[in-house]
Every structure is written in C-alpha cells, then in structure tokens.
Structure 1
Amino acid sequence: MRSLPLIIALLLPGVAAAQEATCGGNFSAFVSGLKDEAVAMGHDAATVDAFLSGVRLDQRVMERDRGQGIFQTPFIDFSRKLISQDRLDRGRGLAERWDEVFTRIESDYGIARGVLLAFWAFETDYGTFQGDFNTLNALVTLAHDCRRPEIFRPQIFAALELYERGDFDPSRTTGAWAGEIGQVQMLPKDILENGMDGDGDGHVLLKTSAPDALVSGAKMLASLGWRYGEPWLQEVVLPANLDWSLTGLETTMTVAEWERLGVAAREGALDDGRLEASILLPQGRGGPAFMAYPNFRVYFEWNQSFVYVTTAAYFATRLEGAPVYDAGNPNPGLSGDQMKRLQTALAGRGYDVGAIDGILGAGTRAAVRDMQAQLGLPADGWPTQDLLNRL
C-alpha cells in the first residue's frame, strides 16, 4: 500500500557530500558521480562498477511518486478502504500463528502486536504483495530526481553495503516504488541498522521470513523512539463545550488534565493520568475523536502522511480489540482543488503549509486552526467551504 516513502533517519553519518550532492542532468554522468562518491567512501571500484553496471532510470517510479492522490482522501473514507473484516480476521489469525514471535517482541520492545500487524497489513497485505519495482533502479531514479535527493542518495550506498554482504542483488532485488524492501517495507539503511534474525537461521531475510520482518520492524520502531509498554491511540468522547483550539498535535496536556476538561474514553478508561497526550480530530469536531499518546508521534517517523498514520494507529487498536470508531457527522470537507486554493490562501498569509498539494497535512491543519480562531470559527483544524469562502 505504501505510496509515500518511509521518512526516517536517512542520512549516512559523516557523509556531508550526500547532503549536497548534485541531482538531475545527464543520467550517465549522474551514475558516474555515484561511483566516484562510493569509491571515495572506501568501496572497491570493481565492486561499485558491478553494483551499478545495469542501473537505469525508471519512469514508472517517477509516475508513482507524483501520483499520490490517495492521501487527499479524508480519514473516514481512507480507513474504510483499508480496513476490512477480512484484514482483521487474517491479522488475528497471524497473531496466533506467530504468537511466540509477537510475545518476544512485546517482552523485548514493549510494542503491542497490533501495531506491527497493522503495518504488515498496510505495507504488503501481510507479505502477499511486496512490490515488483527493481529496488536499485527505484533508489537511483529518486536520487537523480531533484525533489528529495538527500533522502534517497544515501540509500544507494546502504544498498551497496548490503550487496557487499551478499544480501542485495542489483538485478533481482525488488520492492516498493520508493525503494523499501520486505514484508514491512524497510529501506536499505534501516535494514543495515535494524535488520534482525527473528527465526534464528543465521540470516536476515525480510522478504521471505515473517519473524525476521516483524522483529526488524520492532527494532526500528524502538530506535525511532517507541516508549516501552505505552499506548499510542485511544478513541475518546469530548464535551460539547471543549475549547477546540486545544485540539491538534501542537497542544499536549496530561491525561488527568484532559479528564478535568471532560474528556473521557469511549470504552474503558483513559491511560495513566501522568502521560502527556493530544486530542486528534481527523475530520473536525463532528467526526471521530482520539487521544494521541507520545507513541503516536513515532508513526510519523515511519510515514509522514497524516491520514495513513492515523489509520494505521487506529487499525492497530482494532486488532487489539477496540470497537469501530464513532464516525459522527463531520462537516463536508474540501476537494483536492479546493484544498489547494485554501493552502495557497494560507501561504499568502504567511503560514507554512508545505507543498501546495491538496493534502491536509500537519502544517495545513495548524494554519487552519489558527485562522479559524482569528475568524471566530470553532478552531478544530478541519477546513470547510465556509472557511475557504471567508479567505
């Protein structure tokens, strides 16, 4: 499912040239530059030549990179598309099948099995489709493109190191269009840093071994800051008189402070009152409401799409036994073109909304919330036609 690159700690330490490397231009010259840089880093010239000998530009990768319209879909629609009874049933079945592995992960890393099951489901449909793009071609294509070369160029050299270890085949290793490999889709640098032999066979095989993939994914989440044994997301019920400007990831208070404002768990009880948390309204005050704990923020180290992250975190709670969320009756949102108009208007007023892409990301939500407060509207961060008209 992955339509957005894993945005994680991607830069090779100590290789300043990778941050300033050229991009674009003649592709052959670009590849020659990669070879020179690899040799300068200490790699054997003949090995580098063999590694890059058949690399080519993949136009399909460019098309996929520029066609991520799915992330314009609102949370309710997006989550209903991705979460089915079949996926729930298969996830619970796999939790039983690999119970020993998940139990070990829960003990070693404090990560609930639902969290990894949700990633496994969304990334590769539990390993059934891991992508058919040549990984090296994908990485070099995206590094050659000048949109995010600082992300992908270091991954080429990480793949080269895997090749030197015998764990990467330039002509046969395949995966997602953005260069991720295996059942939970990890980039080469993450495999180097977090790859684990989960089944004890002496190898790290993320494409064919579910235990290897799951334990490696757990180690990566831990390295990204996952807090042992803590929750990540919980559906809540909000009082009608809540100050909506307090919602959003920009504001954190303790669970106890939220409770004093009238926030309650929809089912069961809220977690430790000392934990910091934010109130998340994916589609404004009329839609579902969640309490986002510190671990929820780790999801953004895995993927930066708000709608993907929220859906993955929610699905993890479903796999852990939570009920279907109360969809409520949210105010109709904006179309992609309307969202672009809104982003343009907000940017013109000095707000940092990132790219004008029609996607309601964190920057746009924060700007909407601030603008709503200035205009005397409920500041819930959900853009409406009324707000667009006023702007």
Structure 2
Amino acid sequence: MRILPLALIACLMPVAGFSQCGGKFTSFVQSLKQEAVTAGYDTATVNGFFKGARQDPKVLKADRAQGVFQKPFIEFSRRLISQSRIDRGRAMAKKYDSTFRRIEATYGINRGVLLAFWAFETDYGSFQGDFNTRNALITLAHDCRRPELFRPQIFAALELYKRGNFDPARTTGAWAGEIGMVQMLPRDILDNGVDADGDGHVSLKTSAPDALMSGGKMLSHLGWQAGQPWLQEVTIPKGLDLSQTGTGSKLAAKEWQRLGVRAKDGALAAPGLQASLLLPQGHKGPAFLAYPNFDVYFEWNQSFTYVLTAAYFANRLESGAIYDAGSPDQGLTSSQMKQLQKKLQARGHDVGKVDGILGAKTRQAIQSEQQRLGLPADAWPTPALLKRL
C-alpha cells in the first residue's frame, strides 16, 4: 500500500474549516496559508511560497475563451498539423532517440504518442506559456468555477517548492497551471516526475529528457498498455447501424469487421480488442476505430476533438497515412450549436453547459434525437437536424 506524507494528503482532501473559494482574495490566500501550516508545512516555507501572490485577470479571461475547441475535427486537425510540424517531430525523434528508447523500454509508450503531445502542448518546447503558475492556480481555485480541480494543485506546487523544484516568483506555464514541455500539473509532476538527465532535479521546462520521461511515466500510470494500438482509420459500409458508433459504445474489432467495417490500409490492428467506431463529422466524413489506449488520452485532455487529433497525429508521426476527409454534411456555427443545445435541453437531454461545443453529452443527445426522427444516428449536428427540432 502506498503511504502518502501528510503534505500530500492535503493535496487530495482540503482541511475542514478553510474557505474553499470566493470572497476577498487576500483573505482566501491567508486561508490557504493557514491550511498549509495545519497540514504540516513550516511557516517559513509557507510564507516563501505565498509571498507576492496575486490574482491574475488574464487567467480568468483565458479560462472563458477556449473557442478553438468549437471547431470540427477536420478543420481543427488541419490547423494543428502541418508538414513542418511533422518534419520537426521526426527530427526530434532522432535527436532524442536514446530517451525515446528508454521510454519505450520502461513504460511501453510509443514515441509518436509523446511527440504529438509535445508538439500540441508547446510546439516541442518553443512556447511553454508565460503565466505565473502559482498565481494562475490560486486565481482559478478562488474563482469557484472549478476549485476542486485547482485547489489541490496549489498544495502540490507548495510541495514542489519545498523540494527545490518550483520557484513561486519565476515558474511560468500555461494559464491553467500546467508546467513544462509537455505541460503537466504540479500534482502530476509530484507523482510522475523523472530526473532523466541525472542532474538531481525534475526540470520539465529546460530538460527534454526529464519532460519526455515524466510524460511517459504519467501515461503508463494512467493505464496505457504497451504494444497495443490506439487509433486506426477505417471505412464503413452502407446500412451500418450508426447508433452503435461513438465513444460510449464498444465491440470487439473483429465484430466491427463482421459488420462490414474495414481497415483503410491493411488489416485491423487488433481484432481481439474492444474498440469504438468514431465518426467525428458524421457517416460521410472520416471514420476511425479507437482501441482501449485511446481512452487514456481523455485522462490528459477532455476535449474529444483535441484527443482525436492528438491520436491521429501520433499515427502520422509514425508514418501513418493522411485520413480520408470524405464529404461530410455541413455542420453548425457556434450560435447554431447553442440553439441546438437549448432545444435538446428542452427535450430533457443533459448536454451540460450551453457553450456551442460538441462535447460527449451533446453528441449522445443528438444521436438519441436522430434515432427518434429516423435520421442517420451518427451524432453529427446539421442544419437539417436543427430545423427538425
């Protein structure tokens, strides 16, 4: 059984009696300091960590402006993936070949998978974000929108500071508190940080070996299975029951094959594994089988579009083919998506927040209404569906 020190237990469970979010910011910070002392940190360490802490309005603005995730898969993937990015990724694979070999041997993570994250998160380390990490975490924990996510990260950052691996005044990263070349939150660094270059510190901002090994370890701990595929492009037959498609439905790959699903190139990668059939832009667009490792991507990022693009890019970096975009039906604008979400809510569906983003709950609701209306139940929203509703 793994025993956590008191300071790390504080990362998992807030101490009763302390303000969880909101109120005057200075009072909130003082509450955090008191909680840290109660959890066992000495006063000098606590004061050093919180000295100069301030609220960052730019963090809140960034948190509410994630419009890129409203774009459909084809547009999103073409925006993120370029030939120059592929070429640079393959060059990085050669430059850090010994590190990738070590990752593959130790954790079983394909280099293409980590290269894709490295590319999308920081463009191979070129831009890692310039938000003060401590201030970003405290700002988001105070905000009350998702304090349960960000509050524990403050105490994880405090533990990193205690260990000499975090400078509260100078450590910078993404607006949501991720640090380094592959953008890991402080808690993930505590659990999975690796000193791969042997300098005595876990330096995810300046050491590619540290960042890549740490990312590999985290993926392994999240459940990645060595030697198994994650995504494969396929073709689908006419007349397929589309209500079985989507991340919420799984069949053995060989069962999909029995139903007429075929690998676009060659044979199915793993006929015996469970797989979901994904149609990101409906039955007229690209189609993929997603194997169990694909589910691990959602532990890294919750956006379906991002996850699918990252998984596809990993294939491309390992010499996979360009997907067939097909000719999908016209989708909806952001305002039309919000109209659709409101209509789905009115019919009793839980779509989460009305935000114009085609998330998992909205896809499930669309698929249900498509079945009810006798439309192809491929979870792709179209103007025709909006009009029918």
Deviates more, 1:41-50 or 1:247-256: 41-50
| Residue type at the aligned position of 1:340 | K
| Residues 14 and 130 of structure 1, relative CA distance in 2, 3 Å threshold | closer
Alpha-carbon separation, structure 2, partners of 1:18 and 1:108: 40
**Matching of residue 182 in structure 1 with residue 154 in structure 2:** no
Instruction: Confirm or deny: 8 A CA contact 2:229 2:270 kept in the other structure.
Output: no
Give unmatched runs, 5+ long, in structure 2. 1-7
Q: Deviations over 1:264-319 (max 9, x none)?
A: 11012112211000000110111110000011111111000111111111100100
Alpha-carbon deviation of 1:210?
Answer: 0.5
Give the alignment of 1:280-319 within 5 angstroms: 280-319=278-317
2:96 corresponding residue in structure 1: 98
Alpha-carbon deviation of 1:30?
Answer: 0.6
Alpha-carbon deviation of 1:155?
Answer: 0.3
Alpha-carbon separation, structure 1, partners of 2:70 and 2:251: 29
Alpha-carbon separation, structure 2, partners of 1:337 and 1:34: 40
Alpha-carbon deviation of 1:21?
Answer: 4.7
Alpha-carbon separation, structure 1, partners of 2:266 and 2:315: 13
Alpha-carbon separation, structure 1, partners of 2:341 and 2:308: 21
1:383 corresponding residue in structure 2: 381
Alpha-carbon separation, structure 2, partners of 1:58 and 1:204: 27
2:321 corresponding residue in structure 1: 323
Give the alignment of 1:228-307 within 5 angstroms: 228-307=226-305
Give the alignment of 1:129-208 within 5 angstroms: 129-208=127-206
| Residues 220 and 18 of structure 1, relative CA distance in 2, 3 Å threshold | farther
1:35 corresponding residue in structure 2: 33
Alpha-carbon deviation of 1:352?
Answer: 1.6
1:4 corresponding residue in structure 2: none
Instruction: Confirm or deny: 8 A CA contact 2:77 2:309 kept in the other structure.
Output: yes
Alpha-carbon separation, structure 1, partners of 2:343 and 2:15: 37
| Residues 20 and 109 of structure 1, relative CA distance in 2, 3 Å threshold | farther
Alpha-carbon deviation of 1:17?
Answer: 3.5
| Residue type at the aligned position of 2:250 | T
Give me the TM-score of the superposition, normalised by structure 2. Answer: 0.96
| Residues 218 and 368 of structure 1, relative CA distance in 2, 3 Å threshold | same
1:3 corresponding residue in structure 2: none
Alpha-carbon separation, structure 2, partners of 1:32 and 1:373: 54
1:6 corresponding residue in structure 2: none
Instruction: Confirm or deny: 8 A CA contact 1:18 1:150 kept in the other structure.
Output: no
Alpha-carbon deviation of 1:22?
Answer: 2.3
DSSP-derived class of the 1:234 partner: strand
- Out of 346, 360, 363, the residue aligned to residue 362 of structure 1 is 360
The number of residue pairs the alignment matches comes to: 382
Give me the TM-score of the superposition, normalised by structure 1. Answer: 0.95
Instruction: Confirm or deny: 8 A CA contact 1:18 1:154 kept in the other structure.
Output: no
Give the alignment of 1:57-76 within 5 angstroms: 57-76=55-74
Alpha-carbon deviation of 1:129?
Answer: 0.5
| Residue type at the aligned position of 2:320 | A
Larger relative contact order, structure 1 or 2 (CA cutoff 8 Å, min sep 6): 1
Alpha-carbon deviation of 1:11?
Answer: 8.9
